[in-house]
Amino acid sequence: MAQPTSTIDTRDERSRRDGPTITEEPSLTSLMEYDPPRFSRAQEVKSDSLYELIVNFVGLFFGNTGLFPCCICCPNPYVSIEQGTVGMVSRFGKYYKTVDPGLVKVNPLSETLTTVDVRLQIHPISRIPIVTQDNVNIVMDAVLYWCIKDPYQATYGVVDVQAALVERAQTTLRAVLGGRELQDIIENREIIAEGIRDSIDVPAQAWGADVESVLFKDLTFSPELQESLSSAATQKRIGEARIIAARAEVESAKLMRQVAELLDFPAAVQFKYLETMQNMAKQPNSKLLFMPMAGPTPSETMIHAATSGSGEERSELVQQIMNSTDPEFRTALTSSKTAHEASASAASAPMSRSPSPSAPPPAQKSPGKSKDIRSDKQPPTHSGPDPSSIVQSAILASQMGPV
């Protein structure tokens, strides 16, 4: 009988197959464990006088007596220090030792305990008037993040380390931002803030503090400057919109030109007319009167121009039409000209001298006159075909195409 195989994978097999995974949840105790920085240190303090020795001894006696609940009149020598703070113990006004959070025994007569907060502190720096390099008045709001790294130096080296850091930050902000233009301040806020932090951190280290960061919270302009900047931004957006619209109009004109070349000019106008009517029909509360759009074709226009009018304008227009470079039109023009020349030659050919039966009798001369009795007005002779007729025939032939 076959032995059943185990379906439970070992931890190594799962890690090789699925990669590294979290096999067990962290306990609450491990999450709450925190190793704070240690500031405790002690400095030997010598009692030079007999009085100090007596006071110290009496304080130890009463302090130890206060441990018993029945001795209410004696002070308790143990003092608790909160987490996030450290205790500075001084004996007879001299620094004695630094103690960490917890329960600390202090001599009630000879020792004094002072707590120092070593947590990260946030201090706002508000309403700093600044004049930039380009003579623009602005108001800056910033935030200063700092903490105490050396409690001994921060307590005994500076009267008020927080006030010193804030004053240093305000002075540095005015000096750095006053040497830059407004546009540079707006574009490089993070870089400028980092430079200001480095400038403040140098004296802060000597005071026992550490500057974590400086952030620009708000930048306020005067109402006139705000209106000017808003107007400039609006004009810029309007200009960009006009440029885009102009480019669109150019592209539309190019496309309409191509359509006109492909479909002929009246057809393109008709298409634009229908498009305009469609756009007008979409508008509410609009009344439209549709009228048929009809007009002569380009060929009809050329015929009318070539066959009407008089004078030099007509001759110039006919000459321009006859000098056209269109191959089909040139072919039709040549054929029409040849036909007109043949017709004119046939009309001007001399008639046969043999009298025909239907020919009229010769003119009789009247006595006393040497001239024939003829009409004073002679019909004009045709020297060549009429250019207008040639152009009209050529245009009609180009419209009809080859037969």
Amino acid 148: pLDDT: 94
CB proximity list for 141: less than 8 A, separation 6 or greater: 124, 125, 126, 127, 128, 216, 217, 218, 219, 220
Amino acid 115: pLDDT: 92
Amino acid 330: pLDDT: 63
Q: Which residue has the higher pLDDT, 19 or 253?
A: 253
- What is the C-alpha to C-alpha distance for residues 37 and 116, in angstroms, rounded to an integer? 13
pTM of the shown model: 0.47
Q: Which residue has the higher pLDDT, 280 or 113?
A: 113
Q: Which amino acid is at 188?
A: N
Q: What is the CATH number of domain 121-221?
A: 3.30.479.30
Q: Which residue has the higher pLDDT, 348 or 358?
A: 348
CB proximity list for 113: less than 8 A, separation 6 or greater: 79, 81, 87, 88, 89, 104, 106
Can you tell me the mean pLDDT for 201-213? 93
Amino acid 126: pLDDT: 87
> Does residue 206 carry a pLDDT above 60?
yes
- What is the C-alpha to C-alpha distance for residues 271 and 360, in angstroms, rounded to an integer? 65
Helix, coil or strand: residue 370 = coil
Per mean pLDDT, which of 109-113, 337-341, 347-351 is the most reliable?
A: 109-113
- What is the C-alpha to C-alpha distance for residues 108 and 64, in angstroms, rounded to an integer? 10
Q: Which residue has the higher pLDDT, 18 or 52?
A: 52
Amino acid 15: pLDDT: 46
> At 183, is the pLDDT very low, low, confident or very high (cuts 50, 70, 90)?
confident
CB proximity list for 200: less than 8 A, separation 6 or greater: 144, 165, 168, 169, 172, 211, 214
Can you tell me the mean pLDDT for 288-302? 55
- What is the C-alpha to C-alpha distance for residues 65 and 79, in angstroms, rounded to an integer? 15
CA dihedral 236, 239, 240, 242 (to 10 degrees): 160
Amino acid 350: pLDDT: 52
DSSP 8-state assignment for residue 377: P
Can you tell me the mean pLDDT for 287-297? 57
> Does residue 167 carry a pLDDT above 90?
yes
Q: Provide the H-helix boundaries in 264-348.
A: 265-281, 298-307, 312-322, 327-348
Amino acid 24: pLDDT: 47
Can you tell me the mean pLDDT for 334-349? 65
Amino acid 305: pLDDT: 53
> Worst-scoring range by mean pLDDT, 94-108, 110-124, 236-250, 340-354?
340-354
> Worst-scoring range by mean pLDDT, 166-170, 216-220, 386-390?
386-390
How confident is the model over 267-288, as pLDDT tens digits? 556 667 777 777 777 777 666 6
Amino acid 136: pLDDT: 86
Per mean pLDDT, which of 112-126, 276-290, 376-390 is the most reliable?
A: 112-126
The encoded tokens of residue 46 equal: 């010598």
> Worst-scoring range by mean pLDDT, 206-210, 313-317, 367-371?
367-371
Strand 94-99 to 85-91 pairing:
antiparallel
- What is the C-alpha to C-alpha distance for residues 102 and 80, in angstroms, rounded to an integer? 5
Can you tell me the mean pLDDT for 345-351? 59
Give the closest residue to 110 by CA, choosing from 61, 67, 56, 58. Answer: 56
- Is the separation of the CB atoms in 95 and 156 below 8 Å? yes
Domain boundaries along the sequence of the chain: 41-117, 121-221, 228-281, 296-336+387-403
Extract the runs of DSSP E, i.e. beta strands, from 47-136: 78-81, 85-91, 94-99, 102-105, 111-117, 121-131
